[in-house]
Structure 1
Amino acid sequence: MLVLSVDSSSKCATCAIVNDEGVVSEYTLNNKREHSVLIMPMIEQLLKDSNLIIDDIDGFVVSKGPGSFTGLRIGMATIKGLSFGLNKPYVSVSTLDGLALSLSSFNGIICPIMDALRDTVYTSFYKFKDGKLERLMDYTSLSLEELKDSLNEKGENVIFTGDGVFKHKEFLLENINNCSFASNHVNVVKASSIGEIGLELLKEGVKDDDNSSPLYIKQPQAVRELNQRLQMKSEAQ
């Protein structure tokens, strides 16, 4: 089975083609350009350089987040359009799952963190058991203090990965026991990682439908600020 995967949940834009044997091809750009400008040209070039056409693809995989609200909408809309236009299935996978998959050899808690602004991160905790990635908690957003308390309470070795590492590494080193950090090349989301997860799901018959939507752990900042203003106005009346 040949699948095309896309992740646009962070400032990084990445797409890949994977099959049962591994990664066929992959492009990753980490230069902050608008995903709406990047994604379709990347897919077209990826197919061309792989000597494939879009009809050769058997299914699609897209990141559902958490991450950038705009980026997630662009990625989801792109893959939905390709899926429905070609009448081929697609499945959405969490970016956090993809980040954790890259650290399958670690014996301890794998903690991907994505920057959620204002000293908070999107995260979940993982372990590999019997060769499979196991998520230990639901996807969530935590303040750095909450993250520290949760991990120190577990008392296990922990490894961090994700774009939140670059911003918060000093705090993590000073406040979390027995912690280490993934190499820089796996701190960036890779479409091949979510593609590997999605490939197995599609082979099992798991797929999304037209009601699928991105994983919004927090409301967009503009919505939160509007709700705050409405609440203050209501209280003042």
Structure 2
Amino acid sequence: MKILAVDTSTNVASVAILEDDIIIGEYSCNKGKTHSQKLMPMIQSLLEKVKLDTEDIDAFAASIGPGSFTGLRIGVTTIKAMAFAAGKPVISVYTLDALAYNMSMSKALICPVIDARNNQVFTAVYRFEGGKPERLTEFLGIHINELVEIIRSMEGEVVFLGDACNMHREYLTQELGGRASIAAPNAAMADASSVALLARDSFMEGKSESSYEMLPFYLRKSQAERELEKSEQRDRAK
């Protein structure tokens, strides 16, 4: 079984190919959010390096969100198009689940945090049981202060990872003291290999979809949509 997976939910563009239980190739780039320019060349180059064609891939997977609205659309659209052309299924993987999977061997609480601007984060809290991520909260789009209060209500050490962990490092460690730690750089960022491994599990459980069914998971409306709603409300109030 071969799975091609992408993650474009954050500034990181990442592509990986899983063959059975082995990641046979992976490319990542965390320099500038230009996924529309980088993603397809990365996919094509990786396929060439591992001597595969799209027809050799059994399923295509994407991190569907939450995360960057534009990034998610690029990754999901690319995977849907490739799967449709190859006549293969797709597998949706939640971004926070994939981030948490980077720390699958940890016995601590795992808390991925994705920057949602204005001190807001997309987040959830996990614990691993038998190598599987158990989500202890719903997916959340909340202020970083609210997240700290949620963590305070739980017991045990917590590891933070994701693109927002460094920007809030001082606050998290100040508020949570020795309970809080920040994941090492090699584990802290979005990683298509984790998307591929979670997709493999879903594929084995018969949870694949058609290319028409995969949709980005935004968790909340975009800034543009929220501003439009406010404008419409003001117009109606006149």
TM-score > 0.5, shorter chain as reference: yes
CA contact under 8 A between 1:61 and 1:199: conserved in structure 2? no
CA drift of 1:95 comes to: 1.3
- For residues 112 and 24 of structure 1, what CA distance do their matches in structure 2 show? 26
**Structure 1 residues without counterparts, runs of 5 or longer:** none
2:125 is the alignment partner of 1:120:
no
CA drift of 1:105 comes to: 2.1
CA drift of 1:107 comes to: 1.5
TM-score, normalised with respect to structure 2: 0.95
The count of residues paired between Structure 1 and Structure 2 equals: 236
2:208 is the alignment partner of 1:207:
yes
Aligned to 1:147: 147
- The 5-angstrom pairing of residues 105-184 of structure 1 reads 105-177=105-177, 178-184=179-185
**Structure 2 residues without counterparts, runs of 5 or longer:** none
- Cα deviation digits, residues 37-88 of structure 1 (max 9, x gap): 1111111000001111111111111010111111101111111111111111
2:12 is the alignment partner of 1:12:
yes
Aligned to 2:234: 232
Aligned to 1:44: 44
- For residues 9 and 104 of structure 2, what CA distance do their matches in structure 1 show? 22
- For residues 33 and 49 of structure 1, what CA distance do their matches in structure 2 show? 24
CA drift of 1:33 comes to: 4.1
Aligned to 1:223: 225
TM-score, normalised with respect to structure 1: 0.96
CA drift of 1:19 comes to: 2.1
Deviates most, 224-233 or 70-79? 224-233
What secondary structure, in the 3-state scheme, does the structure 1 residue paired with 2:167 have? helix
- Cα deviation digits, residues 86-123 of structure 1 (max 9, x gap): 11111110111111111122222100000000001000
CA drift of 1:128 comes to: 0.7
- For residues 33 and 118 of structure 2, what CA distance do their matches in structure 1 show? 23
Amino acid at match of 2:218: Y
CA drift of 1:199 comes to: 1.1
RMSD of the TM alignment (CA)? 1.2
